[in-house]
Amino acid sequence: MILTVTLNTALDITYRVRSLRPHASHRVSEVIERPGGKGVNVGRVLAALGHEVTVTGFAGGGTGRAVRDRLAGTRGLTDALVAVAGATRRTVAVVDEHSGDTTQLNEPGPQIAPAEWGMFLDRYEGLLAGASAVALCGSLPPGVPVGAYAGLVRTARSFGVPVLLDTSGEPLRRGVAARPDIIKPNADELAELTGSHDPLRATRDARRRGAHAVVASLGPDGLLAATPDGHWQATPPARVHGNPTGAGDSAVAALLSGLVERLPWPDRLSRAVALSAATVRAPAAGEFDPAVYEELRARVPVTTVLSAP
Amino acid sequence: MILTVTLNTALDITYRVRSLRPHASHRVSEVIERPGGKGVNVGRVLAALGHEVTVTGFAGGGTGRAVRDRLAGTRGLTDALVAVAGATRRTVAVVDEHSGDTTQLNEPGPQIAPAEWGMFLDRYEGLLAGASAVALCGSLPPGVPVGAYAGLVRTARSFGVPVLLDTSGEPLRRGVAARPDIIKPNADELAELTGSHDPLRATRDARRRGAHAVVASLGPDGLLAATPDGHWQATPPARVHGNPTGAGDSAVAALLSGLVERLPWPDRLSRAVALSAATVRAPAAGEFDPAVYEELRARVPVTTVLSAP
């Protein structure tokens, strides 16, 4: 079983409007709701790839119930979320039909009480005992200590479970120091962590800070990986048009599946790039197109990056 | 008991953001949820004024449960909403802290099945038997016939219950023809109904179309009333600054309370203007400031409008 942790789960709501104009009133023509939060998205993609996956973290209130109701229908996915008193946050993506652009509104998430955090830690240890890998994903809700991921990384390592960390800012900085097996920052997160806007330099720097492997997602330029086995860049075979929402979560799911299948790094990277591209191309945000995935998988070029001195 | 009908109830969500920029991502700093839909708002104001009020209409899904949970704590208010399979809509008001302006996103509402509409009609007749007045408020959810309000007006009249209609567009046009006791359009709704942008001419025209009394809300210019007893204008004693959300619903509540207390028209109008102003001045949208209301009530000038030939 692969475990994903989403401390700040979300009910992701997408609104379609004709044209978003600040200070005006808008009739929403279409409403889509789906369970969200990075680790939940990663879990759904893993389940779609045929893995057994367990999602944990927090859920509460009517929005938490909506998230859990929707997860209940996902084959291969087990809901091990911890119930909390506060309500799971909503995210609202407003898609402008005229321009095609999206405006995002993200609620902060519920206040997590110390007792609830303690309940989660118990649940996490119990689940680690049966996990082949664990992904720690996304932002921290109010009340969770900023060093939370560092502690969760250490616990996973003490259980001998490989751990992937996908977060940003101070939680990432502290988490990296606890020596996770993989981090997957995007270009901005990597620059914030290392102070360098040169991805090659920054990935090497992030390894020195404690990450065993660093896979940087560079949007249309694909993935740049710095690992103990070598350095690679994997790029989409063609420019991919569509909605990039969820592409990063699909990359995380591919890296985890490649990890538990013990694939060599180049194969993990081509899988991650193909799955990300198939997610961008899918009509619904966060879904992926299986035909596009299969078609691209063999066609992603992975090149060795020479390690500069 | 005063009855209010809200066919398209809502969970009203207010987001505070630093500055709303289309196509950017925003962190919401504050989330406020309250039960909404015009008739629900009218009912809450009536309850706060000390009236026994029953609210009916439709509610469903997790959002409907959130609305009903919040109504359960309102003293003097009875929840007689009809449960439906679809989910009650959300409205999202995004308040820009920088400019103070609000951007509104309104979901369309659940699809109402014919059997659910039939259940509502039964409920409505049962409630009319004990009602001293009824208000029919707001938009129609999908599936409810566009002539719905016309039918509900006729049913109320057959029960001898005075009926106030507060809606817009085609549902208003058809509802007016069924001869409601009062309509309360704003300037835009009145112009759309009558084709005239001259409020005096338009209020008279709306009476000819079937409304016994027309009370037009003209924003900072107060209320203009055309009734069988005469024509009046009531204006706020001073320019009122604040949030106008809910001011129209407070005016409807005041007109209903004045109706059941058999107040003369000028007293109903001064009450409506004072309560609207106290709503604009309250810090939270849709609430009213009781001290401001009491202070203004005696100071609203009501002038007779000479009926032009």
Closest listed residue to residue B138, CA positions, set B249, B38, B5, B3: B38
- Nearest C-alpha of chain B: how many angstroms from A128? 32
Interface of A with B in 245-304 (CB under 8 A): none
- B107 and A31 within 8 Å at the Cβ level: the answer is yes
Q: Does B94 touch chain A (CB under 8 A)?
A: yes
Q: Given this model, what pLDDT does residue B27 score?
A: 94
Q: Does B32 touch chain A (CB under 8 A)?
A: no
Q: Given this model, what pLDDT does residue B308 score?
A: 55
What's the fold here for domain B1-17+30-144?
A: UDP-N-acetylmuramoyl-L-alanine:D-glutamate ligase (3.40.1190)
Chain B hits for A168, CB-CB cut-off 8 Å, are none
How far is residue B216's CA from residue B273's CA, in Å, rounded to a whole number?
A: 11
Per-residue pLDDT of chain A (309 residues), as tens digits, is 999 999 999 999 999 999 999 999 999 999 999 999 999 999 999 999 999 999 999 999 999 999 999 999 899 999 999 999 999 999 999 999 988 888 999 999 999 999 999 999 999 999 999 999 999 999 999 999 999 999 999 999 999 999 999 999 999 999 999 999 999 999 999 999 999 999 999 999 999 999 999 999 998 899 999 999 999 999 998 888 777 778 999 999 999 999 999 999 999 999 999 999 999 888 776 788 889 899 998 899 999 997 654
Q: Which residue in chain A has the smallest CA separation from B67?
A: A62
Chain B hits for A28, CB-CB cut-off 8 Å, are 105-108
Q: Does B106 touch chain A (CB under 8 A)?
A: yes
- A94 and B107 within 8 Å at the Cβ level: the answer is no
Residue from the list B13, B24, B105 with its beta carbon closest to the beta carbon of A15: B105
Q: Given this model, what pLDDT does residue B250 score?
A: 96
Residue from the list B29, B96, B103 with its beta carbon closest to the beta carbon of A24: B103
Residue from the list A28, A66, A103 with its beta carbon closest to the beta carbon of B22: A103
- A105 and B65 within 8 Å at the Cβ level: the answer is no
Give me B200's structure tokens: 């005096």
CATH for A2-304 is: 3.40.1190.20
Distance set, CA A280 to CA A196, A250, A273 (Å): 27, 10, 11
Q: Which residue in chain A has the smallest CA separation from B28?
A: A107
Chain B hits for A108, CB-CB cut-off 8 Å, are 27-29, 31
**SS3 track for chain B:** CEEEEECCCEEEEEEEECCCCCCCEEECCEEEEEEECHHHHHHHHHHHCCCCEEEEEEECHHHHHHHHHHHCCCCCEEECCEECCCCCEEEEEEEECCCCCEEEEECCCCCCCHHHHHHHHHHHHHHHCCCCEEEEECCCCCCCCCCHHHHHHHHHHHCCCCEEEECCHHHHHHHHHCCCCEECCEHHHHHHHHCCCCHHHHHHHHHHCCCCEEEEECHHHCEEEEECCEEEEECCCCCCCCCCCCHHHHHHHHHHHHHHCCCCHHHHHHHHHHHHHHHHHCCCCCCCCHHHHHHHHCCCCEEECCCCC
Residue from the list A23, A31, A94 with its beta carbon closest to the beta carbon of B102: A23
- B23 and A106 within 8 Å at the Cβ level: the answer is no
Q: Given this model, what pLDDT does residue A309 score?
A: 44
Cβ atoms of residues A280 and A271 within 8 Å: no
- How many residue pairs bridge chain A and chain B with CB atoms within 8 Å of each other? 83
pLDDT along chain B (309 residues), means of 10: 98 94 93 95 96 98 96 95 97 91 93 98 98 97 97 98 97 98 96 95 96 95 95 90 85 97 96 94 80 90 78
ipTM: 0.86
What residues of B act catalytically?
Answer: 249
